[in-house]
C-alpha cells in the first residue's frame, strides 16, 4: 500500500504555561495517534505553529517525534517558505533522518504568479533529499495554485502528491480527472475528505484526526475499501467537530479538544489566541 494512502495527522506542538514546548504531551499525542489507527504523521506544519518556533525548537521537535514514533509509521516534515533561496539552504542543511517526505506550502505573502510557483517547486524538488508533497492553501498563502499548475508539477519525478486545501471542488475535480496515476491528491480540508475521496483522492492530512483518530482514520480506510455507506456515517458523525475547530483560529480549537481528552494544555503562541468561551464549551461537549 502507498504510504500516502490513508489518514495522517498534522501534529500540534503542545506548550506549557510559559509557552515552552511540552515534550511529554507531544509524546502522549504521538502514541495516541499511532495506537488508534493514524497511518502517518506530519510534523511542523501550520497546525504545529511552525511560524512561531525557532530553528532550534524545530530541530528538537523533529528529533523528538522520530524518537517517540520508533519507526511505527511514516513521518512527513513540513518545510516551506516565501524565500526560495533560503528554503533551498534549509533543505541542504537539515538532517532528515527518520522522515520519508517533505510537505512544502506554496509561497505565501509574495503572491507569485503561476510560473513563479512552478519555478519555486521545481527548485525545491531538485534540492530536496526526500520526495515532495506540494500544498495548496489559498486561505493562508494569499494565492491559489491552479489545477493546471499542479498538473505541471505532477510531471516532476520528485513531486509525488499534493495536499489540496483550496475548498474549490471544481478545481479539485479537474485535478483528480487529469492527474497522472502515480501522483496522489490528498485532502487538506477535514470536512471535504469524504466527497474528495469519493472523487478519487487517496487520503487526508487532518487536524480533527487528533480527536477522532479511530473514527476518522476508519472513515478514510472505508473510503479506500469502497465501503461508502459506513464512510458516510462516520463523515456525518464528526462533521460538526471538523468545522468547529476552525471557527476561532487553529490550532486553538483542536487543543481544547485534546485538553478535554487529557492529552495536553490549550496554550498557543502569540499572535494566536485561545478560542472564545462559547466555542470552547461546544468543543468540550463534542469530546464528551
The one-digit pLDDT tens for each residue of the chain (288 residues) are 799 999 999 999 999 999 999 999 999 999 999 999 999 999 999 999 999 999 999 999 999 999 999 999 999 999 999 999 999 999 999 999 999 999 999 999 999 999 999 999 999 999 999 999 999 999 999 999 999 999 999 999 999 999 999 999 999 999 999 999 999 999 999 999 999 999 999 999 999 999 999 999 999 999 999 999 999 999 999 999 999 999 999 999 999 999 999 999 999 999 999 999 999 999 999 998
Exposure string over 110-145, b if 16+ CB within 10 A, otherwise e:
eebeeeebbebbbebbebbebbbbbbbbbeebebbb
135 assigned to active site: yes
Q: Which residues contact 13 (CB under 8 A, 6 or more apart)?
A: 21, 26, 44, 48, 49, 50, 53, 61
| pLDDT value, residue 288 | 84
**Residues 262, 256: contact at Cβ < 8 Å?**
no
Domain annotation covers residue 279: no
Domain annotation covers residue 175: yes
| pLDDT value, residue 280 | 98
| pLDDT value, residue 1 | 76
Structure-block grid coordinates of residue 123: 527548485
Helix (H, G, I), strand (E, B) or coil at 209: helix
| pLDDT value, residue 84 | 98
> CATH no. for residue 53?
3.20.20.70
Domain count, the chain: 1
Phi and psi angles of residue 208, each rounded to the nearest 5 degrees, phi first: -65, -20
Selected catalytic residue, list 40, 121, 163, 179? 163
What range defines the domain where residue 74 resides? 6-227
Phi and psi angles of residue 11, each rounded to the nearest 5 degrees, phi first: -60, 135
Domain annotation covers residue 36: yes
Domain annotation covers residue 252: no
Phi and psi angles of residue 134, each rounded to the nearest 5 degrees, phi first: -80, 160
Closest CA to 96 of 78, 117, 123, 114: 78
Domain annotation covers residue 239: no
Selected catalytic residue, list 135, 179, 212, 255? 135
Domain annotation covers residue 268: no
255 assigned to active site: no
Domain annotation covers residue 168: yes
| pLDDT value, residue 20 | 98
Domain annotation covers residue 258: no
Amino acid at each position: 500500500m502507498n504510504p500516502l494512502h490513508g489518514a495522517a495527522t498534522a501534529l500540534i506542538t503542545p506548550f506549557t504555561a510559559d509557552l515552552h514546548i511540552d515534550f511529554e504531551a507531544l509524546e502522549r499525542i504521538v502514541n495516541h495517534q499511532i495506537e488508534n489507527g493514524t497511518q502517518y504523521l506530519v510534523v511542523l506544519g501550520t497546525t504545529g505553529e511552525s511560524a512561531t518556533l525557532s530553528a532550534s525548537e524545530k530541530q528538537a521537535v523533529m528529533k523528538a517525534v522520530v524518537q517517540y514514533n520508533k519507526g511505527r509509521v511514516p513521518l512527513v516534515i513540513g518545510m516551506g517558505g516565501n524565500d526560495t533561496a533560503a528554503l533551498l539552504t534549509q533543505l541542504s542543511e537539515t538532517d532528515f533522518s527518520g522522515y520519508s517526505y517533505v510537505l512544502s506550502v506554496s509561497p505565501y505573502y509574495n503572491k507569485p504568479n503561476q510560473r513563479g510557483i512552478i519555478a519555486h517547486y521545481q527548485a525545491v524538488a531538485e534540492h530536496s533529499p526526500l520526495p515532495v508533497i506540494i500544498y495548496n492553501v489559498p486561505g493562508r498563502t494569499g494565492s491559489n495554485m491552479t489545477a493546471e499548475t499542479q498538473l505541471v508539477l505532477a510531471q516532476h519525478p520528485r513531486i509525488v502528491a499534493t495536499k489540496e486545501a483550496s475548498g474549490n471542488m471544481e478545481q479539485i475535480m479537474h485535478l483528480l480527472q487529469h492527474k497522472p496515476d502515480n501522483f496522489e491528491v490528498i485532502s487538506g480540508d477535514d470536512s471535504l475528505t469524504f466527497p474528495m475521496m469519493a472523487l478519487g483522492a487517496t487520503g487526508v492530512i487532518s487536524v480533527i484526526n487528533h480527536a477522532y483518530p479511530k473514527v476518522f482514520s476508519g472513515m478514510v480506510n472505508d473510503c479506500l475499501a469502497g465501503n461508502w455507506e459506513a464512510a458516510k456515517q462516520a463523515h456525518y458523525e464528526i462533521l460538526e467537530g471538523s468545522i468547529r475547530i476552525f471557527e476561532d483560529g487553529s490550532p486553538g480549537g483542536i487543543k481544547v479538544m485534546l485538553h478535554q481528552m487529557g492529552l495536553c494544555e490549550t496554550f498557543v503562541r502569540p499572535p494566536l489566541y485561545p478560542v472564545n468561551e462559547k466555542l470552547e464549551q461546544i468543543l468540550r461537549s463534542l469530546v464528551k
